[in-house]
Amino acid sequence: MASFRQLTIHFETSAQLPPPYSYQYELRLKPSFQFLHAQLKLSYTHREELDMDEIEAEGFTPNDDYEWEGNLEKVWRDEVEKLLNKTKVEKNKQPDEEADLLALAWESDQTIEGTPQNLEDWYYLAQELLQAIYETSGKERAFELHLLDITSQEVKESILTASFQTRTAQIKKISGGKSALRFYPWHELPHLMEVLYAPNWLSEGAHEQRPKRNGLYFSPGDGIWYEYGKQIVEPGKGAATLPKLKQFVNRLLS
């Protein structure tokens, strides 16, 4: 059985982040033998300062608040417990207005409250837990990246699927009409995301149909294809994100 009885994560975006983007949430977690029970209440803040047209112009809706209660897979209970066991907190820490706020409160042999010293680890795990909730509830689908490398000699194709619901990732490689499946290490996923989205992705000129011409193409699960070097470009002069992406992609296609 888990070493904690209940954990509450409270999160608020930085005071520097304006509406309609600013939000806060409270995530309550209770472990059991077979799963991790989760209760999420997320609300967007300071929207009373904006007109509805301004909110919708940024791609939001009149009400983007979200609540959910249900069970997450046991693997998430294990991950939370693992991080809790190496977490120490600072009580009454003064908030930094330029940083997001994250505080913990949990019950084990005693009640512990405060800001975790390993804050970055908790930022990341909290984001993973939110994504697991969105997938478990059906709000969002599992992450999928479709790669297509077309040359005059051959066509290489790989599909990476990462499920936050089950905390597993796999790669399906398709070549010559045959497919092979292998697991992808979950701990490498953050680096993949970092490399993948370091360049700029431009929707203008992207393909709505599966490409047939020579080139290296990416489709991030939305059915739209972006070509390397054309719709996936350097974010600025002197940047060198594309070679890193190419190197990473070659590993996924091999």
CB atoms inside a 10 Å sphere around CB 67? 11
Confirm if 85 and 3 have CB atoms less than 8 A apart.
Answer: yes
Q: In this predicted structure, what is the pLDDT of residue 2?
A: 61
Helices (H) and strands (E) in the chain, counts: 5, 15
pLDDT of residue 177: 82
pLDDT, averaged in runs of 10, over the chain (254 residues): 86 94 97 96 95 94 96 97 94 82 92 94 97 97 96 94 97 91 95 95 94 96 94 94 94 88
Neighbours of 91 (CB within 10 A): 9
> Token pair of 145, please?
């990246």
- The answer to whether the pTM exceeds 0.85 is yes
Predicted local distance difference test score (pLDDT) of residue 71: 98
Closest CA relative to residue 24, chosen from 37, 14, 16: 14
Give the pLDDT of residue 138: 97
Read off the DSSP letter of residue 187. Answer: G
